[in-house]
Structures are given as structure tokens and as C-alpha cells.
Amino acid sequence: MTTNPPTRRRVAIITACTVAGLVVAAVGGLAIGPTIGTWHVVGAALAHLGLGHSTLTPLQWTIVWQLRAPRMVLGLLAGAMLAVAGATYQGVFRNPLADPYLLGVAAGAGLGATFAIVNVGQSLTTPTWTPLLAFVGAMGAVTVTWLIGGRRLRSSTATLILAGVAVSSLLTSAQTFLQQQSTGSIARVYIWLLGSLASASWSSVWLVLPYVAVCVAICVVAGRALDVMSVGEDESRSLGVPVRRVRFVVIAASSLGTAAIVSAVGLIGFVGIIVPHIVRLLVGTSYRRILPISVLFGAGFLVLADTIARTVLAPSELPLGVVTALVGAPVFVVILSLRRPVAV
Amino acid sequence: MSQVVVHELSVRIGKKELVSSISLEIAAGTWCTIIGPNGAGKTTLVEAVAGLRAPSHGSVTIGRKSVSSMSERERARTVSLVPQHPVVPEGMTVYDYVALGRTAYHGLFRPPSAHDRSVIDGVLERLSLGEFRDRDGATLSGGERQRMVLARAFAQSTMVIVLDEPITGLDMRHQMELLELLKTEVADCGLTVVATLHDLTLAGQFADRLVLLDHGNVAIDGPASDVVRSDELVASYGMHLRVVDVDGSDVVVPVRK
Amino acid sequence: MFKPLRLVLALSLSVLVLPLMSATSGATTHGPQCIVSLSPSATETLFAIGAGRQVQAVDKDSNYPTTGLPTKRIDSLNPSVESIIGICKTSKTHSTHKPDLVVISYDANSIKAKLTTLGVKVLVQNAPATISAAYRQILQLGRLTGHLTKASSIVQSLQRTIAADTSSIPSHPGKTLTAYYELDPTFYSLTSTTFVGSLMKSLGIVNIADAKSTTADFGYPQLSSEYIVSANPKLIFLADTVCCSASATTVAARPGFSSVSAVAGGEVIGLNDAVASRWGPRLAQLMNALTAAVKSALKNSKLWP
């Protein structure tokens, strides 16, 4: 029996469910936590809308508004950006294994952050340099990758990927060398690399928001172009798509947004590669649908994972990358077994 | 009035010159098939006509405008391509695949307009693909799939269509079907066809004109009935060929001696 | 004719000299001559008790005292047996011999077993759990290096200081002095089962990490900003001022922390990372800092509305 691609109605239902899940996750991110009863928070939120009265102490309100709220919003931004960047990369490279860190973003950010953290102890840098150097490292790495593998006239996506592998290997070994020279900082570097939303504040949210907003918008709008490009470079060109230009814009937007997120929260894995696949299994292979739904799904998914990460072993927190994998992998397997997987 | 003018075209890839200083003129509304042994440069030539390979020397002009100077969108509205190994993405409906042909008209940021949609519907009708509209394109049989690729090329509403080995892998019936569809389009809409074909008989039966390519050069260029009987053809293929008349059509037969 | 005579003379002289050499070397210096310290706390102790000249190599993190440390450094997290064995050179013969004593606080690369099979004496001095255990380590080093007298006087002086500090805290019925002790900006803390924790406990401090730690933490649990803000400690100690530039200002800038009592009351105390994490003779310094903080907090009216 041939399965037809999902109908519009099915896609609408899935979109609605995703939005609902996102809202629930967001509310959970605010209300659920180890130190305040969940319903008290919900009650306080309603009180602010004029219904009933709040039972939270000022200290508790501070926790909700200054700690949980920016953390939840940053989680939404990070999940949305990583998911859409991963989906975009998968579309541009026509490779199901592509993730947002493919072209060196992770290695570059890791090197930058390691350099910053190692040198704080030597009083050469301050902790505020860490996100900045991570960002510079990430964008620097992608730029070098593009210069090596993307500029030649007949460069293919394969040369870009290979360039990314080369650049990543080089930068990762440089990072390892730095770490070895300063073993006292290994734990701190490792914690940064694992990725965490624990340091979220409203200022980091405002800092990251413009990048994420612009880059997510560019990626989503590129959905139609990615659909055309799924027939390969030559055929896309014959259909009128300026392939190299589209590729450049889309890769630049994904990389920039990912670099901004990575500099704020470290290297959160799994979201960028698996969320697009989950969405693809649900709504089919058209990037016009995959991209916007990945934005919503990724946002809710990461906030859900973060809520689990910070409550299960409170006050300790599980590394976010561990939780995303533990939560996401079974979900992926279930959906995989229910439906024939569709190739990228 | 020539629609496609190839002027001293040379295409070099790496160190190798695949096509050397070729000049051709193809009139509008005619069918020109490029024949020749493997490695003669047929694919490179037609890709250059479609604007996919930049000439290292010379030019290709369509309707008096140089193909290399056109923007991507303009070129897509001028010449369409049916490649030798088309990529049919999984999960894309036949309708959406054929609709890709209208990309150059509505652009990358807008959905197909009402006019676009009517063109797509018309093409699906003409190529008998209506019943497959919502089917996953990758699930079609060989013959149906090739019709779908042709439909996408037709949807581009171009004056020139370039086809690279369009009937490879199809059974006889589907081969004839596809070529007849093209012939009808040439007759009804004045479409200019530039194609490459391995099958010398079919090449001769459908084309108005044959161009024999050998090692990147034009060996002979003329009406189909002349070229199939030429000495250059025998020399180029390096084997014995006989042309037999069957009910008024030329059939080219390889002979084992 | 003279040659054999000269030879006999030279031989007999050297025979006479050798026992003299060993006798003198035994008389002027006693105890191990070549000590390798892979523990920064042990390094501080060794230099304080007068055994500094016997220390030929230290680990990369040993940075106190500021002068007099040997130039040879070993990576304590990834030590190489071969480089440790080749450390010692005697000035008279210029040949190398094994170290007489290697002090470690952490057995990396199974270095203890490997050195012991090569006949090197290895002393393991892990982070102590109590103050008395710390004293015992200082005395042990004194015994093994032949500086027991100096070591004892250091221990006695520490005991006096700590006793004086503890008793100088005024009684404070009704005031619970909660504190958060920070090891790094990702909220790693320590409980009262650690030696610093036990120092704090002896001063009457209630450590907010105690309530939430499990045996799996080994005394060093990781807290969260939400937990700390919710516990609202009256005192915050920062042991990450050097590694991570933590200060009262950076703590106040963290989301949610400006409303914490310690921050609002100005009782965020920065400690030098090394002083706060080692159990050598500078314990007195750490104790003084903690005591001063407790006294100041008890008098601070902003903390006790």
C-alpha cells in the first residue's frame, strides 16, 4: 500500500497539538520547581490577571520571575533556534545526519569558551568574556569552513561538510591542548560544554533574542527554496533557483543564530538533529511545513527537558543534553515504528 | 529564424576540453537530436545549451539573448531541462513536483498563483497524470515518473526544452509514448527540442535534424534521413550499420559481420 | 717506580674518605633528602615546618609559599612515574636516584602502586574530613621529614587560634546564621562533613547545603540558584574569587540574588581560593576570615529584622 504524504488536515491537527504542547511546557517551566508548589504559582499568575489573589511571598515571586521566567524563555529561544537550524542544515545538505554544529560552530565555541575560562584563573579574562569568545569562536570557525569549502565555483555540499570536519577536528584538538595545560579548570570547561540553562537572566534573553528572531525568520521563509533544492543542485538551477546564494544566506542565518544560542547556553545536543526528524515523520518532507513546526516543537521540547533536568534530582541539575537524549530518543523510536521513515 | 544559436562553443572541465568549438543553429519549433558514441560530449553540449555549464569559449544564445547573461529566473523561463538521472524526492506529491516548474514565475517566497495553478492542472491533464495528483512521486513506475519529469519541464512554459537521454530504462511502449508527447508539443506549441538519444532509429524517426558528435566535435549535421545514411556515422560508431525502410520509416540496424 | 706507590696511596685515601663522606652526610642532614609533593596543602606544610630544602619537585597547582618553590613541576592529575623517578639529583655525584618520599592527595594513574613496587615511599594525604585529621597530617609530615618539633608547634598554634576564634563568637539565641559556601559559579558547595564545613559548623554556622546533600556527593553537592535564593542565607562565602572572578558585585548581578539576605545585607565574603581549599598551616587564616564574617553578620542589623 502506498502511503500518501500527509494531508493538509493532518498537518493542521499536528500543528495545533504542537502549539498546545508548547503552551503546557511553558507553563510547566514557570510553575514546576523544587521550592514552590506548582498550583501556588498558577494561582499567582492568575492573580496578576485579576483573578483571585496570590499566595506567593515576595521571595517566591522573585524566584518565579527572575529565575524561572528568563530560563523558560531562553529555553524556548534555544529549542526553537537549534531545531530550525538543524532542519535547515538537513535541507541544504540533503543529509539526515546534519546538525547545527556541522560546520564547526561547536568546536569554535568550545575553543573560545575554553580559552576564556582557562584565562580567568590567570586574570587575563573575566567571566563575561566567555559568551563573547564562544560566539567569536563559533562564527570564526564557520567562516573558515566556508572559505575552505564553499567559495569555489563548483563546490558541492560534500566539500563543505568535509571542510567542517577538518576545521572542527583542528579546533577541538586545540581546545584539548588548552585544557591539558590548565587542569584546574577542566571541570568548569566540561560543565560549560555540557550546556545548561541555569545561568539564564533577562539580560541574556534580550541579548540573544534579536539574533534568534531574525535567524529563525530567515530560515522559516527559506522553506520553499529548500523544497525546490531537494531535487539537487543542477536541477534547482534549471528551475530558476540561485542555489549558491540561497545556500549562503541560509547557512549564515542558521550558523549565526546557533552561535548566539551556544554562547549563552553552551552545547546542547540532540535537539538540532532529532527534532527535525520527529517533525518530518509527523508532517512529511516539505520544508515549508517542517521548518515552522520544528520551531514550535523544539521550543516546547527543550523547556520540557529543562524542567525535568532541574526537578528530578533537585537541587542538583542533570545536564540538559543528557535529558534531551533520554526524553527524545524513546519518542523518536515510537514515532519511527508507527510510520515508515521518509528520507531527507 | 534561429531560436538556439551555439557559436564556437567550447566547454572545458578541469584540464579536459569536452566540447571543442561547436557551432549550431536550431530553428524555432524544430526538433534537433544530438547523437554519438559514449564520451562524445553530448551531455556536456546540451547542459551548456541549458545554461548549466559555463562555456570556456564561445556562447549559447536563445532568442538572441546569451544564456550566460540571463539571471537564473529568466533562464528558467527560457529553457527547461529533463536530466538523464532526475532526482525525485520521497514524500513529494506529483502535483508539488510538477509545481516546481512554476518556481521561476512565482518566486521563492510566494505560493503558485491562480494562473500558475491552471498551468499545472493543464500540464497534468495533457500528460495523463491527473489521477496521480496526490500520490508520492517516488512511488510511480518508470514510465509514469518520466512523464512527471516531463510535466515539470512543460510547466516551465519555456520555448526550448533540453532532454538528456529521456527514454533510457523505459519499455518500448513508454518510450514511444514519451516521444509522441514531445512531438505533439512541438507541433501544437512550437516548442524547440534539443535532445540526446542513444537509439539511432528513434532519433531518426522523431527528430527533424540530427547532429553527430564525435570527441567533442561535430562530425555531421543535417536532416535525419541524410545523417543516418552517412559514412561519418559508420566511421564514428566504428561498426557496420544498415538503414532499412519499414513502412516509410528509417530503421537503423547494427549488423554483425 | 712512583706510579704503583701513587696508586696505592690514592686507593687507601679513597677507602678512608668514603666512610667519612657517608658519616658526614648522615650527621648534617637527617630524613629524606628528595621529597616530591603532589599536594598543594602538603607543599605548604612542608615549607612551613622547615623541610622546604628537601622538596625537589612539586605539582603544578602548588603556588605557596611564593618564594623558594622548586622549579620542577609534575602534573598531579596525569603524573608520569618515569619523570618522578628521575627527579632527584645529588649534587656530589650528579647521578639520579629515587625520591625518598612522594606525597600525594589523589591517586592518579595508580601512581601509588607503581611507585611502591619501585621501592619509593608514598604517603597518601587525602582531604581530611575533620580538623583533627588535618592536624594529624601536619604531624605526620613532621615525623617523616625529621621536623616534628616545628610541626608540633604549628599544630599547637593552630589549635590555639581556632579555639580562640570559636570562643570569641558571642552567643546568639534566636538567630540562625545560615550560610552558603560557593566553590564555583555553577553552585558547587560543600557540606559540614568536609573540613571547611566542619570549621564553619564549629562557629555555629548552619550550612544550607547540608539539608540537600546525599552520600553520592562525597560532601560536595551541586546546588541550584533557585534553592539558594529560596534558602535565603545570611552569609555567602565565595571560594572562587581567583579562578572565576567571583565577587560581591557579580553575585548581586545574578538573577534573583539581589533579594537574598546576604546580598542585601552586604555579607558576601570573598576568600582566596587556595586558602579556602587547603588544609595546611594557612588554616588559621581561613578560620580568622570565617570568624570575622560570623561576628560581623551577628552584629548586622539588616540581617535580623
Per-residue model confidence as pLDDT tens digits over C34-61: 999 999 999 999 999 999 999 999 998 8
Whether A104 shows a pLDDT value over 90: the answer reads: yes
pLDDT at C26: 38
Mean pLDDT of A20-35: 90
- Cβ within 8 Å, pair A230-B52: no
DSSP for chain C, written as a single string: -HHHHHHHHHHHHHHHHHHHHHHHHHHH--S-S-EEE--HHHHHHHHHTT-GGGEEEEETT---SSSS--SEEE-TTS--HHHHHT-EE-TTT--EE--SEEEESS-GGGHHHHHHHTT--EEE-PPPSSHHHHHHHHHHHHHHHT-HHHHHHHHHHHHHHHHHHHHHSPP-TT---EEEEESBTTTB---TTSHHHHHHHHTT-EETTGGG--GGGTT--B--HHHHHHH--SEEEES-HHHH---HHHHHHSTTGGGSHHHHTT-EEE--HHHHH--STTHHHHHHHHHHHHHHHHH-GGG--
**Contact call for residues A130 and A189 (beta carbons, < 8 A):** no
Which pLDDT does position C21 carry in this prediction?
Answer: 45
Evaluate if residue C71 carries a pLDDT over 70: yes
Distance from CA of C44 to the nearest CA of A (A): 18
Interface confidence, given as ipTM, is 0.92
| Chains B and A touch each other (3 or more Cβ pairs < 8 A) | yes
Contacts of C137 (CB under 8 A, 6+ apart): C41, C42, C45, C125, C128, C279
* Segment 105-164 of chain C within 8 Å of chain A by CB: none
Total Cβ atoms within 10 A of residue A314 = 16
Q: Cα separation of A10 and A221, whole Å?
A: 22
- What would the pLDDT profile of B194-210 be if each residue is shown by its tens digit? 999 999 999 999 999 99
**Is residue C20 very low, low, confident or very high in pLDDT (cuts 50, 70, 90)?**
very low
**Widest distance between CA atoms in chain B:** 61
Using the beta-carbon criterion (under 8 Å), do C224 and A310 form an inter-chain contact?
A: yes
Closest residue by Cα to residue B208 from B233, B229, B227: B227
Q: CB of C83 within 8 A of CB of C74?
A: yes
Give the lowest-confidence range in A153-167, A189-203, B93-107, C56-70: A153-167
Q: What pLDDT, on a 0 to 100 scale, did the predictor assign at position C220?
A: 87
Q: State mean pLDDT over A25-51.
A: 82
Cell triple for A25 = 511546557
Residue C30 pLDDT > 90: no
Q: Percent of chain B, pLDDT > 70?
A: 99
Can you give the pLDDT at residue C281? 93
Taking CB atoms and an 8 Å limit, are B52 and A237 in contact across chains? yes
C227 touches chain A (CB under 8 A): yes
C19 falls in which pLDDT band (50, 70, 90)? very low
Nearest to C260 by CA among C237, C236, C240, C239: C236
Q: Which residue in chain C is spatially nearest to A130 when comparing CA positions? A: C244
The three state secondary structure string of chain A is CCCCCCCHHHHHHHHHHHHHHHHHHHHHHHHCCCCCCHHHHHHHHHHHCCCCCCCCCHHHHHHHHHHHHHHHHHHHHHHHHHHHHHHHHHHHHCCCCCCCCCCCHHHHHHHHHHHHHHHHCCCCCCCCHHHHHHHHHHHHHHHHHHHHHCCCCCCCHHHHHHHHHHHHHHHHHHHHHHHHHCHHHHHHHHHHHHCCCCCCCHHHHHHHHHHHHHHHHHHHHCHHHHHHHCCCHHHHHHCCCCHHHHHHHHHHHHHHHHHHHHHHHCCCCCHHHHHHHHHHHHHCCCHHHHHHHHHHHHHHHHHHHHHHHHHCCCCCCCCHHHHHHHHHHHHHHHHHHHCCCCCC
pLDDT at position C31 is: 75
Backbone angles phi, psi at A274, to 5 degrees: -90, -40
Residue B193: enclosing H or E segment and its boundaries? strand B192-196
B21: amino acid identity, one letter: S
Q: Would you say the C-alpha torsion C203, C204, C207, C212 has a positive or negative sign?
A: positive
Angle of CA points A92, A96, A99, to nearest 5°: 70
Task: Give the pairing of strands B241-246 and C72-74.
Answer: unpaired
Tell if the CB–CB gap between B50 and A225 is shorter than 8 Å: no
How many CB atoms sit inside 10 A of residue C132's CB? Answer: 13
What is the pLDDT at residue C291?
94
Q: What is the mean pLDDT of the segment spanning B154-160?
A: 95
Predicted confidence at residue A315, as pLDDT, reads: 75
On chain C, the residues whose CB falls within 8 A of the CB of A58 are 259
Q: Residue range A246-250: average pLDDT?
A: 94
| CA distance readout (Å), A147 to A138, A258, A260, B4, C199 | 14, 19, 21, 38, 58
Best mutation target among C230, C240, C250, C260 (most A Cβ atoms within 10 Å) is C230
* Contact between residue C192 and residue C207 where contact means Cβ atoms under 8 Å apart: yes
Query: Is B93–A5 a contact, with Cβ atoms under 8 angstroms apart?
Result: yes
Four-CA torsion B62, B65, B68, B72, nearest 10 degrees: -90
CB count in 10 Å sphere of residue C66: 6
Q: Can you tell me the mean pLDDT for B205-220?
A: 92
Chain C residues with CB-CB distance to A198 below 8 A: 186-187, 224-225
Q: Considering only CB atoms, which residues of chain A are within 8 Å of chain C? A: 33-36, 58-60, 62-63, 66-68, 70, 120-121, 123, 126-127, 180, 183-188, 191, 196, 198, 200-202, 310, 314-317
CB distance A302 to A268 below 8 Å: yes
Outline where DSSP puts E strands in B14-169. 16-27, 31-35, 57-62, 65-66, 79-82, 160-164
The reply to whether residue B86 touches residue A228, judged by beta carbons under 8 angstroms, is: no
Q: Which amino acid is at C187?
A: F
Q: Is A235 in contact with B86 (CB distance < 8 Å)?
A: yes
pLDDT: is A336 or B176 the higher one?
B176
- Give the closest of B51, B88, B136 to A4, CB-based: B136
| Cis before C305? omega within 30 | no
* Number of residues that this document lists for chain B: 257
Asked if C56 contacts C86 with a C-beta cutoff of 8 angstroms, the reply is no
Best residue in B80, B108, B152 for a mutation probing chain A (most A CBs within 10 Å)? B108
Among B47, B104, B109, whose Cβ lies nearest the Cβ of A239? B104
pLDDT of A208 reads 95
- Is the predicted pLDDT of residue A199 greater than 60, yes or no? yes
Cβ contact, residue pair A230, B136, below 8 Å? no
The residue among A74 and B8 whose pLDDT is bigger is A74
Q: Taking CB atoms and an 8 Å limit, are A231 and B135 in contact across chains?
A: no
Q: Do A225 and B73 touch (CB under 8 A)?
A: no
Residue from C182, C271, C247 nearest C220 by CA:
C182
| Residue range C6-26: mean pLDDT, rounded | 53
Cell, residue C196 = 571547611
Q: What residues in C contact A127, CB-CB < 8 Å? A: 185, 244-245, 250
Average pLDDT over residues B148-175: 94
A123 has pLDDT over 80: no
Cβ–Cβ contact B60 with A under 8 A:
no
* pLDDT for C15 beyond 50: yes
* Average pLDDT for chain A: 89
Average pLDDT score over chain C: 86
Torsions phi, psi for A298 (to 5 deg) = -60, -40
Residue B186: its H or E element: helix B172-189
Cα of A191 to nearest chain C Cα, Å: 8
Predicted local confidence at residue A112, as pLDDT: 95
pLDDT of residue B146 exceeding 60, the answer is yes
Q: B134 in contact with A at a CB cutoff of 8 Å?
A: yes
Any bridge partners for residue B59, and if so which?
Answer: B7
Q: Judge whether A230 is closer than 8 Å to chain B, CB to CB.
A: yes
Q: CA neighbours within 13 Å on the CB side: how many for A291?
A: 24
C229/A191 touch (CB, cutoff 8 Å), yes or no? no
Q: Which residue of B has its CA nearest to A7?
A: B134
Q: Do chains C and B touch (3 or more CB pairs under 8 A)?
A: no
Q: Give B8-51 pLDDT, tens digit per residue.
A: 899 988 888 888 899 999 999 999 999 998 888 899 999 999 99
| The model's pTM | 0.85
In the predicted structure, residue A207 carries a pLDDT above the cut 70: yes
Q: Which residue has the cell 531535487?
A: A231
The pLDDT value recorded for residue A6 is: 84
Could you report the per-residue pLDDT of C252-300, keeping only the tens digit for each? 999 999 999 999 999 999 999 999 989 999 999 999 999 999 999 999 8
Q: What is the per-residue pLDDT across C241-264, written as a single tens digit (0 to 9) for each?
A: 988 889 999 999 999 999 999 999
Q: Give the model's pLDDT for residue A3.
A: 63
Neighbours of chain C (3+ CB pairs under 8 A): A
Residue C26: CB partners within 8 Å, gap ≥ 6? none
In order of B34, B46, B56, B234, C250, the CA distances from B214 in angstroms are 10, 14, 19, 12, 77
DSSP designation for B207:
-
pLDDT of res. A337: 84
The DSSP element (H or E) to which B184 belongs, if any, is helix B172-189
pLDDT digits (tens, 9 = 90+) for A275-306: 999 999 899 999 999 999 999 999 999 999 99
Which residues on A lie below 8 Å from C187 (Cβ)?
Answer: 198, 315
The span from the CA of A62 to the CA of A60, in Å, is: 5
Residues of chain C with Cβ-Cβ distance to A188 below 8 Å are 184, 186, 243-244
Q: Looking at the complex, does the CB of residue A342 fall below 8 Å from at least one CB of chain B?
A: yes
Decide if B93 and A4 are in contact by the 8 Å CB cutoff. Answer: yes
